[in-house]
C-alpha cells in the first residue's frame, strides 16, 4: 500500500511538471509572436526581433539576479561634477560625550610608595597637578521594588481619616511604573527588540516577568496616549505639503495577513502611521480623510484614483505631485542593459545638485535662489528629460521602456515643483520615516492582533516624530503619559516639549 501511494505521488509530480513546462512554452511562444509582430510593424527582420526577445529575457534574468545577490543601496559611483559639498569625515578618534555624567576618581600612591627613592624623604601632594585620562564605563540596567507607604492621618475626634497621595499610576492598582512601561515601549519600537528577548534580558538583571505582562504595560501606555496619536494625525492633515507612502505590516496568524499595510503620512518635522487591512482606495481615504493640500507620493495608482473619486463627487480633494527619486530608481535599474539610461540619471542628478546649492544659503536668500533656479535651470533640465524620453522608442516591456512610460505617465505631478516652491523633489523624508517600521517588521514580523497594529502605529508615530524635532523619545513618552494621567484626554505633541 505504501509503494502504491509513493508511485501515485511521483506520477502527480510528473503531471504537474509537464503542465508547468507546457505553460512556459506557451508563454515563450506568445512572447516570440508579439516580438515578431512588433518587428514586422517596424520593418525589422526576424533576426532582429529574436534578438530583442532574447535581450528582454536576459535583462529580466539579470534584474532577478541583482535583486537576490546585488547590493541593496542605490548609491552609485560619481564623477563629482554635480555633487553637493559634503562635511569633512570625523574619523574614528575620541568623540566628545557631553551627555554622559562625569565621575572623577583620584588615584593616590600607596603608603609603601611615599618615600623618595633618592633621599628617603616623604613625597608631598603637588596641589593641582595630575595626569588625566578618560575611559567610557558602563552602568548596568537594574530593577528595584519600590514600596510606597502612604501615611495615614486621623483626628482625635474620630471623625476624619486621611491618607497621603502616592505617585500617579499607569493603571489603577498596577504594579509597574510609567518609567518601566516607557522602557518596554522604547525597547520594542525604537530598538526593535521583541518582548520575548526583553523578558530574557530582564531575567538576567533579576526581574521575573513574562511577555503578557510586558504587553499589558504597552496597552496601558497606549490607552493614555491615543488622544495624542489622533491629534498628531489631525495635525499632519493640516500641512500644506504632505508626503505619503505605504509598506507591508503582516497581521500574524490571520487570513489575508499579507494584505495588511502601514500607511505613512509625513512632513519634515512629524510622521504618523495608520495600519489597515488593505492597500486600497478605501484604506487611503480613511488615512487621508478630507486632506486638501499637496500630496507627494510615488506612482501608486490609489492616490490619483482617490483624488479623481473626490472630484467626481464634487468633494474637496488634494493636488498630487510625484517623486523624482522613484523615477531615478527606474532608470538606474535599466542602466545595466541600456547604457543610454545614464543620460537621464545624470540630468536628474543635476536637478538635485541645483536644489542642494540653494539649501546651502541662509534664508531668505535660500528661497529666492531655489525659486530662480527652478524657473531657469530646473525648467530646462526637466524639458531635456522629457525630450530624451520622447526621442527613445523602445520595447514597452523592457526595463527602459517601463522607466520611460512611468516617467511620462506621471509627468504633470513630476513638474509641479517648478511652480510650487513648497514642494520637495521627492518623498525621501517619508521613506526615512517608514524605515523604522521596516526594521521592526524584520525583527518581530508584524502584529498578532488588530489591537497590536494600533499600538504599533501609535508608538512608531510618537517615537519617530519626537526624533524629528530633536526631543528624546523616552522623556517625551513619559511626560505625555504623566500629563494624560493627571488630566485624561490631554494631548502633548513632541514639539510642545521643545525649549521656548
Same domain, residue pair 412 and 455? no
Same domain, residue pair 328 and 389? yes
pLDDT of residue 57: 65
Same domain, residue pair 412 and 465? no
Nearest in space to 415 (alpha carbons), one of 327, 332, 356, 335: 327
Same domain, residue pair 407 and 463? no
pLDDT band at 88 (very low <50, low <70, confident <90, very high): low
pLDDT of residue 79: 46
Same domain, residue pair 339 and 410? yes
8 A C-beta contact, residue 490 and residue 203: no
Work out the number of other CB atoms within 10 angstroms of the CB of residue 395.
17
Q: Is the pLDDT of residue 42 over 70?
A: no
The predicted-structure confidence for 191-240, as pLDDT tens digits, reads as follows 999 999 999 999 999 999 999 999 999 999 999 999 999 999 999 999 99
C-alpha cell at 341: 539610461
Q: Is the pLDDT of residue 31 over 50?
A: yes
Contacts of 285 (CB under 8 A, 6+ apart): 306, 309
Same domain, residue pair 416 and 456? no
Domain boundary residue, one of 377, 406, 423: 423
Name the one residue in this structure whose C-alpha cell is 539579470.
62
The predicted-structure confidence for 142-167, as pLDDT tens digits, reads as follows 899 999 998 999 998 888 999 998 88
Mean pLDDT computed over 33-48: 63
Same domain, residue pair 402 and 459? no
- Helices 2-41 and 46-69 cross at an angle (nearest 10°) of 130
Same domain, residue pair 418 and 477? no
25 occurs within a structural domain: no
314 occurs within a structural domain: no
- Does 114 or 189 have the greater pLDDT score? 189
CA-to-CA distance for 161 and 321, rounded, in angstroms? Answer: 67
Report the sign of the C-alpha dihedral through residues 178, 180, 182, 184, in that order.
Answer: negative
Same domain, residue pair 462 and 403? no
Same domain, residue pair 483 and 418? no
8 A C-beta contact, residue 99 and residue 474: no
> CA distances (Å), 209 to each of 184, 197, 216, in order?
12, 12, 12
pLDDT of residue 39: 64
CA-to-CA distance for 351 and 330, rounded, in angstroms? Answer: 16
Domain boundary residue, one of 357, 389, 423: 423
Same domain, residue pair 468 and 412? no
CA-to-CA distance for 179 and 69, rounded, in angstroms? Answer: 44
Same domain, residue pair 336 and 414? yes
Q: Is 85 helix (H, G, I), strand (E, B) or coil?
A: coil
The predicted-structure confidence for 165-181, as pLDDT tens digits, reads as follows 888 899 988 899 999 99
Pairing of strands 270-276, 261-267: antiparallel
> CA distances (Å), 125 to each of 104, 114, 116, 169, 242, in order?
18, 10, 13, 53, 66
364 occurs within a structural domain: yes
176 occurs within a structural domain: yes
465 occurs within a structural domain: yes
pTM of the predicted structure, to 2 decimals: 0.80
Q: Is the pLDDT of residue 50 over 70?
A: no
The predicted-structure confidence for 71-83, as pLDDT tens digits, reads as follows 655 666 554 444 5
8 A C-beta contact, residue 327 and residue 407: yes
Beta bridge partners of 319: 294
pLDDT of residue 140: 79
Q: Is the pLDDT of residue 92 over 70?
A: no
Return the DSSP state at 112: G
CA-to-CA distance for 143 and 147, rounded, in angstroms? Answer: 13
Domain count, the chain: 2
Q: Is 351 helix (H, G, I), strand (E, B) or coil?
A: helix
Name the one residue in this structure whose C-alpha cell is 522608442.
393
225 occurs within a structural domain: yes
354 occurs within a structural domain: yes
469 occurs within a structural domain: yes
Domain span holding position 374? 324-423
CA-to-CA distance for 169 and 485, rounded, in angstroms? Answer: 8
Amino acid at each position: 500500500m505504501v509503494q502504491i501511494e509513493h508511485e501515485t505521488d511521483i506520477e502527480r509530480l510528473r503531471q504537474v511538471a509537464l503542465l508547468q513546462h507546457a505553460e512556459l512554452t506557451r508563454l515563450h511562444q506568445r512572447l516570440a509572436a508579439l516580438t515578431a509582430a512588433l518587428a514586422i510593424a517596424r520593418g525589422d527582420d526576424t533576426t532582429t526581433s529574436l534578438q530583442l526577445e532574447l535581450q528582454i529575457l536576459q535583462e529580466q534574468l539579470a534584474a532577478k539576479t541583482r535583486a537576490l545577490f546585488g547590493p541593496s543601496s542605490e548609491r552609485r559611483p560619481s564623477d563629482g561634477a554635480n555633487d553637493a559639498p559634503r562635511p569633512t569625515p570625523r574619523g574614528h578618534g575620541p568623540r566628545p560625550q557631553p551627555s554622559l555624567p562625569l565621575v572623577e576618581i583620584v588615584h593616590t600612591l600607596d603608603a609603601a610608595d611615599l618615600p623618595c627613592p633618592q633621599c628617603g624623604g616623604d613625597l608631598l601632594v603637588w596641589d593641582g597637578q595630575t595626569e588625566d585620562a578618560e575611559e567610557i564605563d558602563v552602568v548596568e540596567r537594574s530593577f528595584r521594588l519600590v514600596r510606597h507607604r502612604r501615611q495615614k492621618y486621623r483626628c482625635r475626634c474620630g471623625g476624619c481619616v486621611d491618607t497621603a497621595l502616592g505617585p500617579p499610576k499607569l493603571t489603577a492598582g498596577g504594579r509597574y511604573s510609567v518609567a518601566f512601561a516607557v522602557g518596554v515601549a522604547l525597547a520594542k519600537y525604537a530598538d526593535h527588540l521583541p518582548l520575548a528577548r526583553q523578558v530574557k534580558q530582564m531575567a538576567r538583571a533579576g526581574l521575573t516577568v513574562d511577555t503578557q505582562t510586558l504587553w499589558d504595560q504597552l496597552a496601558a501606555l497606549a490607552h493614555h496616549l491615543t488622544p495624542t496619536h489622533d491629534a498628531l494625525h489631525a495635525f499632519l492633515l493640516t500641512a500644506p505639503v504632505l508626503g505619503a507612502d505605504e509598506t507591508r505590516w503582516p497581521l500574524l496568524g490571520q487570513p489575508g495577513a499579507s494584505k495588511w499595510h502601514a500607511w505613512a503620512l509625513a512632513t519634515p518635522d512629524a510622521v504618523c502611521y495608520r495600519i489597515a487591512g488593505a492597500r486600497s482606495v478605501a484604506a487611503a481615504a480613511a488615512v487621508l480623510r478630507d486632506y486638501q493640500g499637496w500630496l507627494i507620493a510615488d506612482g501608486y495608482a490609489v492616490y490619483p484614483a482617490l483624488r479623481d473619486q473626490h472630484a467626481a463627487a464634487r468633494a474637496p480633494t488634494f493636488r498630487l505631485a510625484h517623486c523624482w527619486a522613484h523615477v531615478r530608481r527606474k532608470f538606474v535599474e535599466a542602466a545595466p542593459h541600456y547604457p543610454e539610461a545614464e543620460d537621464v540619471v545624470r540630468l536628474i542628478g543635476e536637478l538635485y545638485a541645483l536644489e542642494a546649492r540653494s539649501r546651502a544659503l541662509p534664508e531668505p536668500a535660500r528661497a529666492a535662489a531655489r525659486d530662480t533656479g527652478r524657473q531657469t535651470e530646473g525648467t530646462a533640465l526637466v524639458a531635456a528629460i522629457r525630450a530624451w524620453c520622447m526621442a527613445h522608442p523602445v520595447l514597452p516591456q523592457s526595463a527602459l521602456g517601463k522607466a520611460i512610460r512611468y516617467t511620462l505617465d506621471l509627468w504633470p505631478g513630476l513638474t509641479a515643483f517648478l511652480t510650487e516652491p513648497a514642494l520637495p523633489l521627492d518623498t525621501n523624508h517619508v521613506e526615512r520615516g517608514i524605515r523604522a517600521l521596516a526594521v521592526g517588521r524584520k525583527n518581530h514580523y508584524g502584529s498578532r492582533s488588530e489591537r497590536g497594529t494600533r499600538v504599533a502605529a501609535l508608538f512608531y508615530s510618537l517615537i519617530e516624530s519626537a526624533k524629528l524635532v530633536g526631543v528624546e523619545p523616552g522623556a517625551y513618552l513619559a511626560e505625555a503619559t504623566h500629563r494624560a494621567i493627571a488630566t485624561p484626554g490631554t494631548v502633548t505633541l513632541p514639539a510642545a516639549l521643545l525649549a521656548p
